[in-house]
Amino acid sequence: MIYYRSDEEIALIKISAQVLGKAHAEVAKLIRPGIQTKELDRVAETFIKDNGGSPSFLGYNKFPASLCISVNDVVVHGFPSRYELRDGDIISIDCGVKLNGYHSDSAYTYPVGDVNPATRRLLTRTKESLYIGIEKAVEGNRVGDIGYAIQTYTEKFGYSVVRELVGHGVGQNLHEAPEVPNYGKRGQGPKLREGMILAIEPMINFGKKGIFQERDGWTIRTADRKPSAHFEHTVAVRKGKAEILTTFEYIEAVTANTSLMVETQELMAA
């Protein structure tokens, strides 16, 4: 069942999303070589609870943590652990917050220290594809228009779109209809109507699209062990222009001196 949220409900999701954005920023402050990923999870969980929310992921289908922490070739659903981040890693942080009865969901991928330019470009272009997909999340379009926009943008750089993992509706439940693939055909899929709340989340591999699941039943890696990037916003479908409910503002205030954005000339030279 697809839900259509009122302006009042959307306002409640935005409140949840503000706490989520600030939780991400608390984590972003700590990302550096040498920190254990379980410490990032502890900080996020504490911040969310101290601000009246609950971590959406903790206990969801028995998931053991508040953050999905995915390093390098892990696409999504990695566990926090004693692993210490290393110079040259990339780390995706996926987090959800439930507050006032509504969930918000977002993800961001960070470079750790000195990351090679090709991998930085993967991060930049995956983030750009998120906004390109969001542009299509307007009343009258279809879900396939979102996926087509993300797919065509990222594949022109030689990247691959993960097929088995998709975005989704979000609201009173963490995962709701419809599924929102990051690939597809224009004009296909469920029709978008005002009030639909979507978690749009490109998961883009540097190499081939193949993935596999670890024995823990959660961790998803690229089959060729090349890096993968993941960015996500929760958005409301509107007439004319989608409304982004989550925010990267707090993250990027923290990371301003180590921005993901590659110089224009570097991109042009790639």
The residues, ordered by sequence, that sit 6+ positions from 77 with a Cβ below 8 Å of its Cβ are 63, 68, 70, 218, 219, 220
Residue ranges at the known binding site for substrate: 77, 175
Of 59-73, 155-169, 254-268, minimum mean pLDDT range = 254-268
What would the mean pLDDT of 222-247 be, rounded to a whole number?
98
pLDDT band at 186, cuts 50/70/90?
A: very high
Res 264 pLDDT > 60 = no
Tokens representing 51 are 């601000």
* 162-174-260-115 Cα dihedral, nearest 10 degrees: -60
Residue ranges at the known binding site for a divalent metal cation: 94, 105, 168, 201, 232
* Residue 194 vs residue 267, higher pLDDT: 194
Q: What local confidence, expressed as pLDDT, does residue 43 receive? A: 98
Res 262 pLDDT > 50 = no
pLDDT band at 37, cuts 50/70/90?
A: very high
What would the mean pLDDT of 130-142 be, rounded to a whole number?
98
Give the whole-angstrom CA distance, residue 256 versus residue 124.
14
Q: What local confidence, expressed as pLDDT, does residue 258 receive? A: 56
Cis peptide before 178 (omega within 30 of 0): yes
What would the mean pLDDT of 67-82 be, rounded to a whole number?
98
Q: What local confidence, expressed as pLDDT, does residue 142 receive? A: 98
Give the whole-angstrom CA distance, residue 229 versus residue 102.
26
Tokens representing 240 are 């004319």
Res 268 pLDDT > 50 = no
**Domain extent listing, the chain:** 7-255
pLDDT band at 256, cuts 50/70/90?
A: confident
CA of residue 190 relative to chain centroid, distance: 22
CB atoms within 10 A of CB 59: 12
CATH architecture of 7-255: Alpha-Beta Complex (3.90)
What would the mean pLDDT of 169-188 be, rounded to a whole number?
98
Res 199 pLDDT > 80 = yes
Res 200 pLDDT > 60 = yes
Residue ranges at the known binding site: 77, 94, 105, 168, 175, 201, 232
pLDDT band at 39, cuts 50/70/90?
A: very high
Res 72 pLDDT > 60 = yes
Res 31 pLDDT > 80 = yes
